[in-house]
Amino acid sequence: MNAHVTRSRPLVEMINIQKSFGGVHAVEDVSIDLFPGEVVGVLGHNGAGKSCLMRILSGAMAPNAGTIRMGDEDVRFLSPQDARRQGVETIYQTLALADHLDAPSNLFLGRELKTRWGNLDDKNMMEEARRVLHRLNPNFKNLSDPISRLSGGQRQVIAIARAIYFKVKILIMDEPTAALGPAETAMVADLIKQLRSEGIGIFLISHDMHDVFDLCDRIVVMNRGRNVGGYCIEEVTKDDVLSLIIKGEMPDGWRPRNAARTPQTGLSSN
């Protein structure tokens, strides 16, 4: 299941992205792309700039320089709404849920379903929420409870449901399994595979090497704000990846694990 076989045009290209806070360069001249039906692991230390890069793509943060290209157009995301309008959905590590509201309210927060008179259509939202949440977790019953009374797994399910309910083309998942038990982690893995087969492109931020090797088609490693390498998952071993994450370079005398393939750089060619 490798997207490069199709070799279609990338869903999104982030080109020479730069972001600094005061004197600190959080993201320095990073380019990255994503193809339809591809899962790209974005790896790196805490503070390597991966979350920052993803926040720029999700519209939560504006870059100092660089362009984001979707299709033939250069896009500018000034707010999360802008990104969502282009089909970029994000599952944040913090989940970004309002604790006092119930599941349907969170699912539709910021894009509520309304009746003809512009009032909130709570009934319709509840039905839709029940439908989409049931698909992810058939045991999800207490939909009208506020989020604060739900388990970590249920919250995660709501955050995921919110991202995939609307027409998603690019999904950013920031540590989607960090708070989950084994069964729920397997559910998320299945979901990622299913979304990939539907042609959705996924950026997966994860610290879990098992997840990365299980799910990703390609990895991009960041170190101190720089993109230090992009490889197909078949080319690298866990040790190679750890070396990239920690040292920022491959071990001495590195050769692709699967030497038949040419290295696939994550750097954009233009």
Partner 1 sequence: MSVEVDRLAVPFAGVKISSDALHKLSALFTLFMLVGFFSFGNAAFLSVGNGLTVLLQTSVIGLLGIGMTLVIVTGGIDLSVGSVLALSGTVAGLAVKAGIPVPLGMAMGIAVGALCGAVNGIVVTKMRITPFVATLGMMLIARGTALQITGAAPISQLGEAFGKLGNGSLFRMIGMGSNGLPKVIFPGIPYPAILLVVVAVAVGFMLRRRSIGRHIYATGSNEEAARLSGVEVDRTKLAAYVMSGALAGLAGIVLMSRLVTAQPNEGVMYELDAIAAAVIGGASLMGGVGTVSGTMIGAFIIGVLRNGLNMAGVSAFIQQIIIGFVVIMAVYVDQLRSRR
Residue 90 sits in the site that holds partner 1 (CB under 8 A): yes
Among 70, 75, 96, 267, binds partner 1 (CB under 8 A): 96
Residues 4-33 binding partner 1 (CB under 8 A) are none
Among 33, 38, 102, 211, binds partner 1 (CB under 8 A): 102
Candidate ranges 35-43, 106-114, 132-140, 185-193; the one touching partner 1 (CB under 8 A):
106-114
Distance (Å, rounded) from C-alpha 61 to C-alpha 21? 11
Among 35, 77, 92, 165, binds partner 1 (CB under 8 A): 92
Among 109, 151, 238, 251, binds partner 1 (CB under 8 A): 109
CB of 202 to partner 1, least distance (A): 18
CB of 59 to partner 1, least distance (A): 9
CB contact set of 266 (below 8 Å; sequence gap of 6+): 31, 32, 33, 40, 218, 219, 220, 227, 229, 230, 231
Helix boundaries (H) for 31-181: 50-57, 80-85, 103-107, 122-136, 152-165
Residue 100 sits in the site that holds partner 1 (CB under 8 A): yes
Residue 121 burial (C-beta neighbours within 10 Å; 0-12, 13-18, 19+)? middle
Residue 79 sits in the site that holds partner 1 (CB under 8 A): yes
How many CB atoms are closer than 10 A to CB 117? 6
Residue 270 burial (C-beta neighbours within 10 Å; 0-12, 13-18, 19+)? exposed
Residues of this chain that bind partner 1 (CB under 8 A): 58, 60, 79-81, 84, 90, 92, 94-102, 104-106, 109-112, 114, 118-120, 122, 144-146, 148-149, 162
